[in-house]
Amino acid sequence: MHHTKLPLAFAALLLFGSALPTPAPAALPAQVGGQPLPTLAPTIKLAGPAVVNIATRGTQTAPYNPFYDDPFFRRFFGAPAQPRERETSSLGSGVIVDAQRGYILTNHHVVAGADEIRVVLQDERSFTAKLVGSDERTDLAVIQIEAKGLKGLPLGDSDALEVGDFVVAIGNPFGLDHTVTSGIVSGLGRRGLNEENYEDFIQTDAAINPGNSGGALIDLRGNLVGINTAIISRSGGNMGIGFAIPVNMARNVMQQLIEHGAVERGLLGVTGQDVPPELADDLGVTGRGGALISAVSPGGGAEKAGVQAGDVIVALDGKTIAGMDELRNRIGLLRKGQKVRLDLVRDGRPVVLAATISAGPELAATGTAAPHKKLAGAALAEVDERSPYFGRLKGVMVVSVADDSNAARRARIAPGDLITAVNRKPVANLADLRRALAGLGDDAVFALSIRRGNMSLFITVP
């Protein structure tokens, strides 16, 4: 930690101040003008013990590089024959949400890849925690400690928040235990930080810095309303724009992680887009928002409920839908078999339907074999609601790559990649990909256009 030197005069006062006459400190009045002074101290005293410090240690393997397999490259450049590992560590925060069972809610990125998780309480007791479950797509995780005398935070209602409400952030920024900052709710329903994830952030100007991740955002009653997770910053420090995961989203994910160790995504079985403003009047949609359905998957919950292409979904279970991203987010957090009410606009008329959410298994469960010898070992799948590219891009998802697959490794494709073209010819689905590769011999060299996260890659398959 960097320490700033004290000015000489101030240091002298510290050294010799005891020899100087010191006036007795004036007591802070409890009231001014007959009115009690506002203070957050009682709320912080109640909530503080439920916020913990989390420290992790782990190892990280360097990404695979095909040059590592080349003896010539290793000889002249000293590249290792095997990917190297390095130790990692991180600091973050967490919130005790179940004092009896020792459950602590935090961010996925705080504990991801950790071999050891240490939790330090406000009273300085330290425990080794076990990972109960983690969900990268919502950036939430649940860990557990065995301890007595814990204090948990009551869960509030993030749907009741309004812009302008006062909130308090508690966490461990830069390792400074139980730092408290305050501010207001600056915005609601923020999205777009990572288009691959499920996002519905609370924006706040309460100072959030590195180390606050996983900490508590509370209201003035001491109820947990959000889990602090991210900031927008040019310097790495607070600039007054912080984000928290709403507790109502966290509650749903937490329950699934505790019960199943993972989150089972729900599916409605629709493809669509936001309602273009210029078409809103023609579609009979008043106001802003809504999800315009362009296709309905056969056999899905939407088709069985009677949803049709051209419908506009304006509300889910009575809560308005801002657009296709919000519909995807909310459906993805529901469970198989759950009943939902869909409010639609069809040909300018309101329609109400009841739909049943179908299962959304991991993509790997439905991946199909690769359509070319040089992609052998890769499982592929269509882009649907389970994909982070759903509704935005067309192509074929790489679901998984077998560990013993030399072919797929040499092709340099990875799980999560989206194949969008072969030899610059666009592919929108598995049928297009098969056609594009069908005329290529086993020894042919071809190029794949890949979308990997926010990067577009052009990979030549040797």
Backbone φ and ψ of 12, nearest 5° = -65, -40
The answer for residues whose C-beta is within 8 angstroms of residue 366's C-beta and 6 or more apart is 381, 399
The CA–CA distances, whole Å, from 173 to 92, 170, 312, 395 equal: 8, 9, 44, 41
The answer for residues whose C-beta is within 8 angstroms of residue 405's C-beta and 6 or more apart is 376, 377, 378
Is residue 84 a contact partner of residue 61, using CB atoms and an 8 Å limit? yes
Decide: helix, strand or coil at residue 392. Answer: coil
Q: Cα torsion for 168, 170, 176, 178, to the nearest 10°?
A: 110
Of the candidates 81, 59, 60, 62, the residue with the CA atom closest to the CA atom of residue 70: 81
Active site residues per annotation: 109, 139, 213
> ∠ at Cα 361 (355, 365), nearest 5°?
140
Using only C-alpha atoms, the chain has a radius of gyration, in whole angstroms, of 27
Question: Looking at the chain, how many residues does it have?
Answer: 462
CB atoms within 10 A of CB 98: 16
Is residue 59 a contact partner of residue 87, using CB atoms and an 8 Å limit? yes
* DSSP H helices in 182-263: 247-260
